[in-house]
Amino acid sequence: MTSAQGRAGRRFLSKLRGLIGFRAGTHPGVGIDVGSASIKIVEAHQRKSRWIVTQAFVIPRTHDLLEDLKKGFQRVSSPHRAVIGVAGSALVTKVLSVNALDSRDLADQVYWEAEQYIPYDIAEAVVDYSVVGKTQDQKTEVVLVAIKKDALHHLGDPIRKAGFQLDVIEPEVFALAQAFENEAQAQNLKTPGAQLILDFGARSLKQVIIGRGIPLLVKETGQGGRNLMDELAASLGLSAQDAEHLVSSEQVPVEMIDGLKQKLLPYVTEIRRTLEIYAMAQLGPEVQLVALGGGYSKIPGLNLLLEQQLRLRVHDFQPFTGMDIEIPEVDRVNVNKFYHLMGPAVGMAMRGGDFLP
């Protein structure tokens, strides 16, 4: 990507080529997804035309993030190309169309446009962009990304202190999209229209609509599965831990399923609102597929509820599809158990991963 701020400054964000950008080199990439409940780490590289996963594991979060990250550092073989994602209010993404005479004029225009969209002082941000093509009226189409500098330090400092060599910081939703693109190719999931990718985490619901190989709309809501469990527990007179245990079991009481559906409806409404905004703004082709992942994507009845309410096909996002898993047999159980958590970490590992002969 090309920096629009201090053009000689450090490039914090990864290059975009569609949504997939690979580099030649000698090291695996390590994707580190730091969530509110756990840290997901995936180590991968490319061999010929295949992606090889050599590590994939989940570390539950404690009160000491640095110690948690050190545990992850001890398990990877090559921590030299660590990629982490940024999300939340510190991140701004936007697809822009601008008239530009040359690359310098383009950078100036993108920087000016960024000032209109960033909700904080642009001097506090790192601004980056990638050219993705031309519009029908021959304007230059770019993806703009802005991240607050203090968020970069907040994310990057503990990663480095744990021993990793931080290579790239990028929007978490872009990594999510990259992992989906890989799965879509392997499973022939590509549609003529756009795809909505959902990551239903502990404390957030991330949404990204992908079309024409670029993120057309990104939205994040600061309410996730843990909030849902708290509400459900209160309504049933249970502890949040007991409610979560029941939901994750295979024998969920019927009365609890009904309560779950009611508690899930506000999240479904939020997703429907995103689709309506996308359609009204005419940002791209019609959404034809929903890919559902994240730590709370396995809530009983969620998949069916989304299909009924959105009237769209809902796909169980499986980010390791099409990859060769070369990790110890004992750890493969965890890959099968936690695959729905790993989308962002897989995409981040692909950003940093090299081609190995």
pLDDT of amino acid 334? 77
| Residue indicated by tokens 């993404």 | 93
DSSP string, 49-114: TEEEEEEEEEEE--S-HHHHHHHHHTT-S-TTSEEEEE-GGGEEEEEEEE--SSHHHHHHHHHHHH
In the chain, count H helices and then E strands: 10, 17
pLDDT of amino acid 27? 64
Residues of the chain with pLDDT under 70: 1-27, 249-251, 330, 353-357
HSE (side-chain half, CA atoms, 13 Å) at 212: 14
The pTM (predicted TM-score) of the whole model is: 0.86
Q: Which residues of 287-313 are buried (b: 16+ CB within 10 A; e: fewer)?
A: bebbbbbbbbbbbbebbebbeeebebe
Q: What's the Cα-to-Cα distance from 81 to each of 49, 123, 163, 294, 319, rounded to whole Å? A: 20, 28, 11, 24, 20
pLDDT of amino acid 354? 53
**What are the two backbone dihedrals, phi and then psi, of residue 299, each rounded to the nearest 5 degrees?**
-60, 125
116, with CB counted inside 10 A (0-12, 13-18, 19+), is exposed
Rounded Cα distance, 188 and 143, in Å: 26
Which tokens belong to 132? 């993705």
pLDDT of amino acid 163? 94
pLDDT of amino acid 357? 41
DSSP summary character for residue 286: P
Residues 243 and 257 sit within 8 Å (Cβ to Cβ): no
| Residue indicated by tokens 């035309």 | 49
Rounded Cα distance, 114 and 129, in Å: 10
pLDDT of amino acid 69? 96
Q: What's the Cα-to-Cα distance from 328 to each of 37, 56, 75, 317, rounded to whole Å? A: 25, 10, 12, 23
272, with CB counted inside 10 A (0-12, 13-18, 19+), is middle
Dihedral angle, C-alpha 136, 140, 143, 147, nearest 10 °: -150
Residues in Cβ contact with 352 at an 8 Å cutoff, skipping those fewer than 6 apart: 27, 28, 29, 30, 31, 81, 82, 83, 167, 168
All structural domains of the chain: 2-186+318-356 (3.30.420.380), 205-316 (3.30.420.40)
pLDDT of amino acid 153? 86
